[in-house]
Amino acid sequence: MSRLFDDLKETVKEWTTVAVEKAEEVGKIAVAKTEEVTRISKIKLEVHQHERDLAKLYEKLGRFVCDHAKRDNMVNFTGNSEFFDLVQKVDQFQTLIDGKKEDIEQVKDEYKLDDSDIATVDDVVEEKIENSPKSEIKDEHSSDE
């Protein structure tokens, strides 16, 4: 009976050692993936912020064009430095956003991550937008109908 317990104890000890080694290996992989997913999420958050800034810039550009069209009956912006400054800023933001998106793809390729490995900022943002109250502009338009 003593030999049976000794054999059982030895077998359990071996299994435990193997299980601990596997757990350590899985833990290291999980930590590495978590770091890279966090890195990607941070870049995605930066992209989202830049896209918001770009949207504000487009709005400013639209207001500028609309104001000039109404006030001065002008839709030709040749030589208008303010207009071209806004257009240049739009291009700079778009280049910055494209660069950040390339950074994300590089990290994903380098660490062999796919989209299912990454919790996207887009999902969080979409959820917040769905749960937020509708804007006043939409309410005004819907009441006109």
pLDDT at 140 over 60: no
**Segment 78-92 mean pLDDT:** 93
How would residue 85 be classed by pLDDT, with cut points 50, 70 and 90?
Answer: very high
CB atoms within 10 A of CB 19: 10
Q: What is the pLDDT of residue 120?
A: 55
Lowest mean pLDDT among 22-26, 59-63, 132-136: 132-136
Whether 139 has a pLDDT exceeding 50, the answer reads no
Any idea where the domains of the chain sit in the sequence?
A: 2-144
CB 13 within 8 A of CB 81: no
Average model confidence (pLDDT) across the chain: 81
Q: Check pLDDT > 60 for residue 87.
A: yes
Per-residue pLDDT averaged across 34-52, rounded? 89
Residue type, 82: E
Structure confidence at residue 88 (pLDDT): 96
Tell me how many degrees the CA angle 45-123-130 measures, rounded to the nearest 5: 110
- Which residue type sits at 26? V
Angle at 35 between CA 34 and CA 38, to 5 degrees: 80
Q: What is the DSSP letter of 112?
A: T
Chain-centre distance for alpha carbon 103: 12
Largest CA distance in the chain: 103
pLDDT at residue 130, rounded to an integer: 66
Q: Is 114 left (phi over 0), alpha (psi -120 to 50) or beta?
A: beta
Is pLDDT above 60 for 125? no
d(CA 85, CA 76): 15
